[in-house]
Amino acid sequence: MKSERFSECVRPSATGALVASSNAAELSVSCRRRRRSLGLLVAASMFLLVRDAGGGGPYQFYSVTPCRIVDTRGPVGVNGGPALSAGTPRGFSIRGSCGIPLTAQAAAFNVTMVAPTQNGYLKLWPYGTTAPGTSNVNGPANTLAIANGALVSLAPDASLQVSIVYGTVQTGTTHVVLDVTGYFQ
């Protein structure tokens, strides 16, 4: 089969599925190129290895109607204000709110950094464990809002399950909005 460049695609599309029994994921990519007399459909398949993250499982994913579970712009409270201060981790309660059962092992979030005062990032991780070396959201100072999706394991702690920290090289603050879209159990 002749090699095709996907940068020349008119309508590239990709689909994927996890193959649990072989710990592999299959990704199919197709491309329809524009030609004068003939439309050519090129399909490519490849296998990606998926590494075990070391957690329990397998877990089933359950979607929920998107629900605001944390908003630091609101009144002071466990899942409310004040804004996060740079370098100071803060724990948030997840289970038992917004349809997340007490048996949930992980959650799917849309995390939004709102009005950071310095260039920085947000990290999310299970409460009471070591922070990861990577961030979930990066944003420049004075950005109105910037968001990203995150899958986070929930700590077994009965009151706080997720930690969030605002990282920056200077002192500063940012608000955080955390919407839950589903959970694993």
Q: Tell me the pLDDT tens digit for each residue of 39-81.
A: 332 322 223 333 344 456 789 999 999 999 999 999 999 999 9
Q: To the nearest whole number, what is the mean pLDDT of the chain?
A: 78
Residue ranges per structural domain of the chain: 6-49, 61-184
**The architecture CATH gives domain 61-184:** Sandwich (2.60)
Distance between CA 23 and CA 47 in Å, rounded?
10
* 168-177 pLDDT tens trace: 989 999 999 9
148 CB neighbour count, 10 Å cutoff: 16
Whether 149 shows a pLDDT value over 80: the answer reads yes
Whether 6 shows a pLDDT value over 80: the answer reads no
Q: CB-based contacts of 108: which residues, under 8 Å, 6+ apart?
A: 61, 63, 149, 150, 151, 180, 181, 182, 183, 184
* 103-133 pLDDT tens trace: 999 999 999 999 999 999 999 999 999 999 9
Q: Using the 8-state DSSP alphabet, how is residue 65 labeled?
A: E
